């Protein structure tokens, strides 16, 4: 008789992403001079990922244009569920309605991670901020995104702040009138 083992593919995928991301960050820490350089590089990598992920997200979900920033926040929640398997909370809306926070009670990227004291300036999940910025730029929304609280630094949750800057105009590439 053969013995069959079943794997929870979502758990395996989550662990693979966690370990791969941790290896990437560890190598960047070795290769770059400062934690600030690593933070910038992680944001840039995330931005490039976001530019590409938005097409996959739109084709998988079949969603249309965002009507307002609240609709955008809902779609960001859907993306977190789809790609990271977590459900953040949207809180702390600004009075003008142009800024909000995403609260992650659990973050799969940080499950197996401890930051040494000499890396307290490292924004380990800065890639997520870049993904948000890159994806939203591709749907004509210019935003800023940054980490406010980080579980790796002793905070209860991970908080990512998103601020709407402006709506981008569709632009034709230079030379294509």
**Sign of torsion over alpha carbons 47, 52, 55, 56:** negative
**What pLDDT shows up at residue 22?**
87
**What pLDDT shows up at residue 132?**
96
pLDDT in tens, 100-158: 999 999 888 888 788 888 888 999 999 999 999 999 999 999 999 999 999 989 889 99
The structural domains of the chain, ordered by start, are 9-167 (3.30.1380.20)
Per-chain mean pLDDT for the chain: 86
**What pLDDT shows up at residue 40?**
96
**What pLDDT shows up at residue 20?**
86
Beta bridge partners of 163: 99, 144
Q: Are 108 and 14 in contact (CB under 8 A)?
A: yes
Mean of pLDDT values over 23-44: 94
Helix (H, G, I), strand (E, B) or coil at 47: helix
Q: Are 160 and 145 in contact (CB under 8 A)?
A: yes
pTM of the predicted structure, to 2 decimals: 0.85
């Amino acid at each position: 008789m053969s013995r069959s083992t079943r794997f929870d593919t979502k758990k395996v995928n989550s662990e693979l992403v966690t370990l791969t991301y941790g290896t990437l960050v560890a190598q960047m820490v070795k290769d770059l001079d400062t934690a600030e350089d690593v933070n910038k590089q992680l944001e840039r990598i995330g931005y490039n990922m976001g530019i590409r992920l938005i097409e996959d997200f739109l084709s998988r979900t079949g969603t249309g244009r965002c009507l307002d920033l609240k609709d955008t926040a809902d779609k960001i929640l859907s993306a977190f569920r789809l790609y990271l398997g977590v459900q953040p909370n949207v809180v702390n809306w600004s009075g003008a309605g142009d800024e909000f926070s995403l609260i992650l009670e659990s973050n799969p990227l940080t499950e197996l991670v401890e930051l040494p004291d000499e890396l307290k300036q490292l924004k380990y999940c800065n890639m997520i901020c870049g993904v948000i910025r890159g994806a939203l730029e591709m749907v004509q929304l210019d935003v800023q995104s940054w980490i406010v609280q980080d579980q790796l630094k002793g905070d209860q949750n991970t908080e990512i702040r998103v601020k709407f800057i402006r709506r981008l105009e569709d632009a034709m590439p230079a030379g294509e009138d």
